[in-house]
Copies of this chain bind each other. A is one copy, B any other.
Amino acid sequence: MESQASMAPTPRALPYYVAFSQLLGLTVVAMTGAWLGLYRGGIAWESALQFNVHPLCMVIGLVFLQGDALLVYRVFRNEAKRATKILHGLLHVFAFIIALVGLVAVFDYHRKKGYPDLYSLHSWCGILVFVLYFAQWLVGFSFFLFPGASFSLRTRYRPLHIFFGAAIFLLSVGTALLGLKEALLFKLGTQYSTFEPEGVLANILGLLLASFAVAVVYILTRSDWKRPPQAEEQALSMDFKTLTEGDSPSSQ
């Protein structure tokens, strides 16, 4: 159990790491836009450019916003738990809606062009991530925001929710890398090996995507940066501990 009191000071280095992660995330979004604008003709819904809606929406939704949703509890350390939870849930809703637009864009584009769907590793991973993301949101909502779940159930589910949240985020980034690679090889083919500017830009974008993932998960997993429990939560958890002392799982 943490021993910090409520209104604990923010760890000194945390804001710099958060700022750095945001810089990386925004650079990734801007660079995806630049790549699509400079080398893929930009974005539109009613033309061949509809495809380009897909990578942009996925990077904004399932990379940037999903990553930021994971950081909410590290950034808002002294706000009411319920408000922070709602923000966490809402960011995931926005991410989900934007990703849904991106998904519709690519299926609609394939349908218009007569291309087959869901044959590649990128698409298999993508569908898996999307379904897991939706399931995790539903389960998270019913355990943590819906008033039914008991304190003991929440305590037991929390580590699983955090682990699968991070895993789904990393799978999303991995899927984005596969998609980027696919888009490059489809268009550039053997030209990719001549260090075409588009290839180099996209490679750098890939490394930045991976760096954003590393930065977010580092902030998330650093144990001394975890959100300190607030006065009322601590009281509640002490009550619970007293009630169940003896058969409660070791809280490490």
Chain A residues proximal to chain B, CB less than 8 Å: 2-4, 115-116, 119-122, 124-125, 128, 159, 163, 167, 170-171, 174, 177-178, 180-182, 184-186, 192-195, 199, 202-203, 206-207, 210, 214, 217-218, 221-224, 226, 249-250, 252
Question: Which chain B residues lie closer than 8 Å to A163 at the CB level?
Answer: 218, 221-222
Among B119, B210, B218, which residue has its beta carbon within 8 angstroms of that of A192?
Answer: B119
Q: Is the CB of A202 within 8 A of B121?
A: yes
- Most interface-central of A3, A174, A222 (chain B CB within 10 A): A174
Q: Is the CB of A121 within 8 A of B206?
A: yes
Report A88 CB to chain B, min CB distance, Å: 20
> Could you say how many copies of this chain the assembly holds?
2
Question: Which chain B residues lie closer than 8 Å to A249 at the CB level?
Answer: 224
Question: Which chain B residues lie closer than 8 Å to A177 at the CB level?
Answer: 121, 174, 177-178
| Bound-complex Cα distance A247 to B199 (A) | 50
The secondary structure that dominates the A interface is helix
Q: Is the CB of A128 within 8 A of B222?
A: no
Question: Which chain B residues lie closer than 8 Å to A180 at the CB level?
Answer: 121
Nearest-CB residue, chain B, relative to A123? B203
Could you list 21 A-B pairs, sorted by A, with CB under 8 Å? A2-B252, A115-B193, A116-B193, A116-B194, A119-B192, A120-B193, A120-B203, A121-B177, A121-B180, A121-B202, A125-B207, A125-B210, A159-B223, A163-B218, A163-B221, A171-B210, A174-B174, A177-B177, A181-B182, A185-B186, A224-B250
Question: Which chain B residues lie closer than 8 Å to A186 at the CB level?
Answer: 185
Among B2, B182, B207, B250, which residue has its beta carbon within 8 angstroms of that of A124?
Answer: B207
Report A230 CB to chain B, min CB distance, Å: 16
Q: Is the CB of A167 within 8 A of B217?
A: yes
Nearest-CB residue, chain B, relative to A221? B163
| Bound-complex Cα distance A155 to B121 (A) | 41
| Bound-complex Cα distance A148 to B232 (A) | 46
